[in-house]
Structure 1
Amino acid sequence: MRLPWLGNSRNANRQPSSSDIYHTEIIADVAVPERNESVRFFSRKIVRPGKLRRFSNQDLRESLLSCFYLGVAATLPVSWWGPICGWVSGFRRKRHFRKDFARYDVAVKAVLGDAVDTKSMFEAQLAALHTRRLALAAHLVAGWRWSPAIRLEGLEALQGALRNGRGAIIWCDQFAAQTIIGKRALHEAGVDAHQVSAQYHGFSPSTFGLRVINPPLVKVENRFLKSRIVFERTDAYQVTTRIQKTLKANGVVLMTNTVYAGSAFTEAAMGERGWTHLASAPANFAARAGAALFHMATIETVPFRQYRAIVNVLSAGPQMPAAPARDATAKNLAVQARYILSKRDHMLETLKLCPEQMMAWSSATRLTERPTEAAIGNDGA
């Protein structure tokens, strides 16, 4: 799996990009007076659709890793799994340090401060990305040999919100264990959830990946879901309608914090001097539908043996006075901004517990101030 901030290689830069190219614009800067902060809202529109490759450079590697971890999960003791992930992550460690560490170092220190040991954290993150693959293999072949202890915190608050009859949105962070273990934690607690999922969900965005590499992950996740709502830009209206119907039926909708699936996202200050980008869709649905909004993060406390799934209520703060119809959009953005800051606070709190397990990091500079961004209006995702 490529780290989220990785760019193309020098050779790839000589060829036309296969990624979607977007035009990004600032919608509004919304102040939150009681927090003495503001949240910036962006819109993203495709100006050049990307070309779906039949086979990507990483597909062979992902296929070999999948086969290897299936063998590990089927034959070796659970106590060996963690060290094996660390060992395998070392094969390409020098390459990742050469290409990725400089940006990672700046981003992490912008959030957590200059005293943090980013070198050790980066090595641990590379290993954590492999634990995600091995966890998938374990669900496929380990069976009774593997029964991790998963502690779910915040279930009472979620159940209380559902008693109001307006549904609930659970906004999940991109920790390595969230993809499968987070869904499993809710399922084992009796929560039937509907996952909003991007079309290219998985380890590979190629045609081969969609047909061969990604389906096992989707299949395992679906064990713990009531349904999957696949998001495509061409049918955003239908997906929105389905989410609204699910919430009206008092359902639980899971959304992952990725800014690349939707047409809008936000930017807020993060930690010491960093900036984070958060999806705007969860806050928007909560503001419009009146559904309860929750933060969720799942972290591994003992490798492959113990997990902690944390669910917290997100608050929009004090109720705002009724506004005229023409101010409805401004009011909605003000409510969203408060949800965004509440989400940011909980995410930062959890991030400090296990920063090495976070798969997507923030930036040390604002989006509009990055020299590598082509005038912010032509960035690829």
Structure 2
Amino acid sequence: MQKRRKRTGRAAWAFSDLVTALGLIVQLPVAWALPESAWSPLWRAATRLPLTSRRAVERNAASMVAALGDIDMTRGAAIARDLKAAIHEIRFQDLRAWRPSSNPTGGWIPKLSLEGEALLAEALKGGKGAVLWVSPTVFNSLPFKIALKAKGYKVSHLSSPVHGYSETQFGVDRLNKVRCVPEDRHLSQRIVFDSEAPTTAMRKMMRALKAGEVVSIVAANTEGFEMVEGPIFGGLLPVAVGAPRLAGLTGSPLLPTFVLRDPALGFRIAIEAPIALDPNQPADDRTIAAVNEYLRRSEAWVRRYPEQWRAWSKWRPRA
């Protein structure tokens, strides 16, 4: 699939920027003072208030019912509200990370569980770095980066220019830094995708891999112009092809990485065995096969943690 390129410039600002800024100001003292254990219950309660918008909840719930097959709309709506609550909860993580602390990692110190590190270490022995293909789940940003940095890995992360809170110029320059600055403490570099010069990001990632480092890319369709619609839950999901293309070009191992919050383990960063990339296959066939394999592995994780998968709005049933 080809994604249409956006050629228009960004709006200078929007009224939603003001709402977001005021919300962050109000939430800052709460995020600093409230115990982390209270964050999720607070937001789950908030998303069940009658004032909250129901359109996105109902749309995601309908997708969940059709995809999972073993839940009804009542259960789907409850999961969709929990997803919305988790997305709001990220703000508290961002804001807590700004709280003054003697800890060099910042003011938020989450409970982390890194699984499959031996697979990453083995992949790096080849001298071609490693590409981590990260799940499009709610908590895939800051916990993932903290965990890899704590283990001493140098990570270059491919990022959208609108990662954070806003797509306006003011939002990119100011609001999005609330999220990006705490993340950057744990990165070797943030590689921002430029739609006007897409090869620039590819060259930077290739240099990082050549140096034997880690490159992380989220398995989403936010940026990039080429997608593969892969099968999952009997339907289809568009996924950008940057990660398998990069791994195919460089010969670097491509490791699926799933980031979920678990009640017992905290934030689980699970690195799985590399997806095989057949060098004898045509590039497009190899890429399609990689996307299909990634989505096949995703199903078990999503079924276990459906309230944390941000791709429900992109999933569609087969025609």
The TM-score normalised by the length of structure 1 is 0.76
Q: What's the CA shift for 1:314?
A: 3.4
Q: How does 1:102-251 map to 2 (within 5 A)?
A: 102-115=58-71, 117-141=75-99, 143=101, 147-251=109-213
Task: Kindly indicate whether residue 40 of structure 2 is the aligned counterpart of residue 82 of structure 1.
Answer: yes
Q: What's the CA shift for 1:309?
A: 1.0
Q: What's the CA shift for 1:359?
A: 1.9
Q: 1:130-151 CA distances to partner (integer Å, 9 max, x unpaired)?
A: 1111111111117467532200
Task: Kindly indicate whether residue 305 of structure 2 is the aligned counterpart of residue 351 of structure 1.
Answer: no
Q: What's the CA shift for 1:363?
A: 2.2
Q: What's the CA shift for 1:206?
A: 1.1
Sort the Cα spacing of 1:314 and 1:110 in 2 relative to 1 into closer, same or farther, 3 A.
Answer: farther
- The answer to whether the Cα contact below 8 Å between 1:110 and 1:363 also exists between their aligned partners in 2 is no
Q: What's the CA shift for 1:51?
A: 4.1
Distance in 2 (CA, whole Å) between partners of 1:50 and 1:108 is 34
1:140 match: secondary structure = coil
- 2:260 is aligned to 299
Match among 237, 247, 250 for residue 289 of structure 1? 250
- 2:224 is aligned to 262
Distance in 1 (CA, whole Å) between partners of 2:143 and 2:293 is 24
Distance in 2 (CA, whole Å) between partners of 1:64 and 1:199 is 22
Sort the Cα spacing of 1:45 and 1:77 in 2 relative to 1 into closer, same or farther, 3 A.
Answer: closer
Q: What's the CA shift for 1:119?
A: 1.3
Q: Percent identity?
A: 22
Distance in 2 (CA, whole Å) between partners of 1:100 and 1:94 is 13
- 2:291 is aligned to 340
Aligned residues: 312
- The answer to whether the Cα contact below 8 Å between 2:134 and 2:258 also exists between their aligned partners in 1 is yes
Q: What's the CA shift for 1:351?
A: 0.9
Q: Residue type matched to 1:138 in 2?
A: R
Match among 6, 18, 36 for residue 60 of structure 1? 18
2:262 match: secondary structure = strand
The TM-score normalised by the length of structure 2 is 0.90
Q: Residue type matched to 2:142 in 1?
A: I
> Which one has the bigger strand percentage?
1
1:308 match: secondary structure = strand
Distance in 2 (CA, whole Å) between partners of 1:364 and 1:233 is 26
1:53 match: secondary structure = coil
Distance in 1 (CA, whole Å) between partners of 2:41 and 2:59 is 27
- 2:53 is aligned to 96
Q: What's the CA shift for 1:223?
A: 0.7
Q: CA-atom RMSD, angstroms? A: 2.2
Match among 309, 312, 318 for residue 272 of structure 2? 312
Structure 2 residue runs of 5 or longer lacking an equivalent are: none
- The answer to whether the Cα contact below 8 Å between 2:133 and 2:218 also exists between their aligned partners in 1 is yes
Q: Residue type matched to 1:311 in 2?
A: I
- The answer to whether the Cα contact below 8 Å between 2:61 and 2:79 also exists between their aligned partners in 1 is no
Q: Which has the larger radius of gyration?
A: 1
Q: What's the CA shift for 1:152?
A: 0.4
Q: What's the CA shift for 1:124?
A: 0.7
Match among 361, 364, 368 for residue 316 of structure 2? 364
